[in-house]
Amino acid sequence: MNIRSLPARLGIGYDAHRFGARRRLMLGGVYIPSRPGLEGHSDADVLLHAVCDALLGAVALGDIGRHFPNSSRRYKNIPSLKLLARVREMLRRRGYTVGNIDVTVILERPKIARYAGRMIRNIARTLNIQPSQVSVKATTNERMGFIGRGDGCAALAIAYVFPPE
């Protein structure tokens, strides 16, 4: 069977960062007024990094570390919405269309429900899809592990994409 004859492709993305950076906390391209922020080479937006990895995985293009290495000064402190836009272009050039994105952020605090709408709009705008095609939700880790202790944050995303016709 030719892979292009399949109706859709799925990808899963995961990212985690520790708290502790002296910077703003960014999730889904939204500033969350909380201290500390997340450590990382870019803006450390775990939510968008997981989305990028899910999209790249769906089209078998590897992960964000392959395309945007943390060894490159070019990506130092770059807003992750810019990385997502570049991933969108990689998919577009190959003829893929995003069907939907589903993301779960895992953290004890801060609570992010009130910011989810803005995160959804940021992702939808950047991917040129409708907000109804994006889901952002959060859960805690029930005080277990590094997330439960408040040492960090993680995100898990799944992307559904349609191949070129």
Domains in the chain: boundaries: 19-160
Helical ranges in 59-156 per DSSP H: 64-67, 80-93, 116-127, 145-148
The rounded distance, in Å, linking the Cα atoms of 41 and 72 is 9
In this prediction, residue 29 carries a pLDDT of 95
Q: Which residue has the tokens 């939700």?
A: 137
In this prediction, residue 26 carries a pLDDT of 92
In this prediction, residue 104 carries a pLDDT of 97
Cα-Cα-Cα-Cα torsion 14, 139, 121, 135, nearest 10 degrees, comes to: 80
The rounded distance, in Å, linking the Cα atoms of 80 and 97 is 20
Per-residue pLDDT of the chain (165 residues; tens, 9 = 90+): 454 556 799 999 999 999 987 888 999 999 999 778 888 888 899 999 999 999 999 999 999 989 887 777 886 778 899 999 999 999 999 999 999 999 999 998 889 999 999 999 999 999 999 999 999 999 987 888 877 788 899 999 999 999 887
In this prediction, residue 5 carries a pLDDT of 57
In this prediction, residue 1 carries a pLDDT of 46
Q: Which fold has domain 19-160?
A: 60s Ribosomal Protein L30; Chain: A; (3.30.1330)
